Structure 1
């Protein structure tokens, strides 16, 4: 018996060709008006009673088995007979079949990603092996070695990276923009691990153009210390990360001194205070990371201090100045400069010389006595800063240097204390009184006695217009008399026995 090849069931593709014949629907009869024959002949058996209400185009009649009408059986058999279809198969059917063949050829590369030392993982079914081999040396080796499992540190990160492999550059960039710079850096690390060049370039392109936070900058530094990239885009990122060490150190020192000098010469009180706070803050932050303070030049800072001291002397001497501001305002500006530079010196462990410099200002001390407290009290602000630093133990000055600064400025500070309280400018007087007493107690006992007697005389007359050093006075008294007597008695008793 001859076998006939099985006919493939036709697929109804989205086209304008008529649908295939079915048992419930006959093929429409062409109208004579649309016939191509120029001399049509009338049909020998015309239908005298055409159906006035034809069924819809897609309507079907469902026949239940066992209830087939004998009248329609012959017609159904006729409908079920194979009909030669002169129209070719739709193009979409052929395209669909070829697509299935291509998919079958591309889905044979499968592998699994597992977490190192863990049980988490996921399976990967990549469709286009050609894209992988073309863009990733890592996957090319996997395919050649037929490796089915790889281990990674972060399963979720590598899952996101692998999902972006088949994306276009536009879709890839859109996805990176949504996740932000921090996660883009993590994604860059994953792309570098799997050596997917297209993904690496896209990550670098986004990171280079986006603004970074300080944490993200540190993250990039750590990443670039672990991996080596030769992409041209890396050069632009590196230029944003750092510069040459020798240039950075010299530039920092020169720029800092230049900024300090500009602020010292400023005549705008509000702007000067803001800039003083800004520069002091950034220099303090630099000292946290930079232990060797080679950036700030000690000599340059002390030259600025001497310049401020010279300006103060000229002001108190009545020298003609181009500055038209009142005398008190000009004095206050120079004092602010001195105290501000002194704080910078303290933060950079270079302030011991300032104590010696301030203690040796004999001419300025004499000029102080010639002016009213309303003008001269600004000079005592510098003395207050020095005494507070000594009392807190921030300065390791020699004993003769501490004695000199007390001999020069202790009495002027007592006299100006009332005006300092009237214009505190942020001064904590309780803390000042405590640290002043502690600093005084670092002197030799003979010097302490002389200064405490001077304080006692001033306090008994001026009261609250003079700092209260009662606590330090009691400590000095016990050390000088009570304990000395006790130790003396113990010594005599030891000799007698």
Structure 2
């Protein structure tokens, strides 16, 4: 039997592969024609009788291969790999994803099917960094069907699979798992919101009727459990509610509600949640009035975050409520916010608690604007009652309802004249 052929063995070599670049890099590799012809279509063509060759160095055939400087090392590696048995036992020869991509490009160019297969198997199986993934997306799609398995992890998923993972994730994200799983639950909530968000790309999931129905049901069950907790709190003593650690579950629900508002708004199905919050508002405030401990103040902050989202839906017409419910929301939450903001501001001045009570200043500003919008949409007599209470409150500085007061004054002053112009029979002195 013939001894194994080794690249660079001049005593048995019958062909020289000369790698060259325009920058002047030049390397001669002493090879064997039978190996080159067997494992590379490019070299099979170059060494065939149909391809003109030149004689050099003791009558050996010389094949000159020109390449870019950036591809030079990859060409060297491919020619060396022709001498390696590619049977799955060479996984450690690729020296990383980036190098394997370069080798793959050259292997495709030189028509080396065994190396191409081995490269594909390696790249398809190993993890990629983001930069490597971008490189794969840039290069692989134009290289032919034999490399398509590399792109399997990047292919779009069929709608039924997306629907399935969305529902499964939704049910977990609206459950009440042990606190050790809070990070996992938060991640699930973030991904659900991302799936329905339209940014540079279309949403991953279209909000079909069955998706909306499932979301409503899951959020409804979440709120039902919250109502049960509210009832349990209201049955306890004031001191018991304010004990350290007693607010953990309560806060967890509020965090879930804050996220739920984001999801429901994107799906345009806030109505059920808003109505549930309206119905529970009195109970929530009553629980919050039970204590002024640090835990209660932190919980109040989270309540404010949810209230801001609910009132925004009401104030800007996303959810249409009857007058009585809108008036009720103002009467419940305006006094709560007036008292809560100073407590939170005071807690933020305490260095030990400042991080726990960090809240976006824009939230307070947005909440103030929302109150103005809701108040101005109420009957003028209800506006007068609210503004009277606001002006007599020690916390008159927030929210600042000056805009609502100015509009009410103007409307009230000109009401008779404006309505008379249109022949209104409802123009009475009761307007003021």
Give the TM-score of the pair, scaled to structure 2: 0.65
Kept in 1: contact 2:39–2:112 (CA 8 A): yes
- 1:354: which partner in 2? 270
Q: Secondary structure of 1:127's partner?
A: strand
Asked if residue 439 in structure 1 is aligned to residue 370 in structure 2, the reply is: yes
Q: Give 3-state SS (helix, strand or coil) of 1:374's partner.
A: coil
Aligned equivalents of 1:345, 1:460: Cα separation in 2: 37
Contact persistence 2:226–2:253 (CA under 8 A): yes
Partner of 2:206: 294
The structure 1 residue matched to 2:329, chosen from 395, 409, 414, is 409
Shift of 1:135: 1.0
Match of 1:266 in 2: 177
**Distance of aligned partners of 1:223 and 1:258 in 2 relative to their CA distance in 1, 3 Å threshold:** farther
| Candidates 262, 270, 275, aligned match of 1:343 | 262
Aligned to 1:220: 136
Q: Distance between the aligned counterparts of 2:315 and 2:99, measured in 1?
A: 47
Could you say if the C-alpha distance between residues 130 and 372 of structure 1 is closer, same or farther in structure 2, counting changes exceeding 3 Å? Answer: closer
Q: Is the 8 A contact 1:136 1:195 kept in 2?
A: yes
**Among 381, 403, 417, which residue is 1:475 paired with?**
403
Residue-by-residue CA offset, 1:16-51 (whole Å, 9 max, x unaligned): xxxxxxxxxxxxxxxxxxxxxxxxxxxxxxxxxxxx
State yes or no: 1:131 paired with 2:35: yes
Change (3 A) 1:221 1:452: farther
On the 8 A contact 1:176/1:184 being kept in 2, the answer is yes
1:34: which partner in 2?
none
Residues 445 and 251 (structure 1 numbering): CA distance in 2 closer, same or farther, change over 3 Å? Answer: closer
For 1:275, which of 184, 190, 211 is the aligned residue? 184
Take 1:157 and 1:341, find their aligned partners in 2: how far apart are those partners?
A: 52
Contact kept? 1:253, 1:295, Cα under 8 Å = no
- Cα distance change on mapping 1:370 and 1:204 into 2, 3 Å: closer
Unaligned runs of 5+ in 2: 1-8, 54-62, 348-355, 418-432
Equivalent position SS for 1:428: coil
Q: Does 1:333 align with 2:252?
A: yes
Query: Is the contact made by 2:74 and 2:99 (CA closer than 8 Å) also made in structure 1?
Result: no
Q: Structure 1's 250 and 295: CA in aligned 2 closer, same or farther, altered over 3 A?
A: farther
Hey, what does 2:425 align to over in structure 1?
none
Counterpart secondary structure, 1:454: helix
CA RMSD of aligned residues (A): 4.6
SS, match of residue 398 in structure 2: coil
Alpha-carbon distance between aligned partners in 1 of 2:10 and 2:152, rounded to the nearest angstrom: 50
Q: In the alignment, what sits opposite 1:169?
A: 84
- Which residue pairs with 1:462 in the alignment? 394
Among residues 29, 39, 46, which one is paired with 1:142 in the alignment?
Answer: 46
| CA shift digits 1:235-292 (9 cap, x unpaired) | 5x5555558524531232122123213xx32253xx3542343223333444455525
Asked whether the 8 Å contact 2:41–2:112 carries over to 1, the reply is yes
Cα gap change, 1:482/1:202 in structure 2, threshold over 3 Å: closer, same or farther?
same
Q: Aligned-pair distance for 1:433?
A: 2.7
Larger radius of gyration: 1
1:345, distance to aligned residue in structure 2 (A): 3.1
- Assess, with a 3 A threshold, how the Cα gap between structure 1 residues 335 and 458 changes in structure 2: closer, same or farther: same
In 2, Cα distance between equivalents of 1:156 and 1:256: 45
2:161 equivalent among 242, 248, 259:
248
Q: Is the 8 A contact 1:112 1:123 kept in 2?
A: yes
Deviates more, 1:366-375 or 1:334-343: 366-375
Offset from partner CA, 1:63-100 (integer Å, 9 cap, x none)? xxxxxxxxxxxxxxxxxxxxxxxxxxxxxxxxxxxx87
Structure 2 Cα separation of the partners of residues 106 and 310 of structure 1: 81
Q: Is the 8 A contact 2:107 2:113 kept in 1?
A: yes
Go from structure 1 to structure 2 and tell me whether the alpha carbon gap of 1:101 and 1:211 turns closer, same or farther (over 3 Å shift).
Answer: closer
Aligned 1:232-243 pairs, distance under 5 A: 235=149, 237=150, 240-242=153-155
1:385 is matched with 306
Which whole-Å CA distance do the structure 1 matches of 2:336 and 2:408 have between them?
A: 29
- Give the distance between the partners of 1:224 and 1:216, measured in 2 at CA: 12
Greater relative CO (CA pairs within 8 A, separation 6+): 2
Contact kept in structure 2, 1:360 and 1:405, CA below 8 Å: no
Q: In the aligned structure 1, how far is the partner of 2:114 from the partner of 2:207?
A: 42
**Residues 151 and 252 of structure 1, relative CA distance in 2, 3 Å threshold:** farther
Distance 1:208 1:343 in 2: 37
Distance 1:448 1:141 in 2: 90
Give ranges in structure 1 of 5+ residues lacking alignment. 1-98, 114-118, 490-497
Task: Indicate if the aligned counterparts of 1:380 and 1:413 stay in contact, CA closer than 8 A.
Answer: no
SS in 2 for 1:146: coil
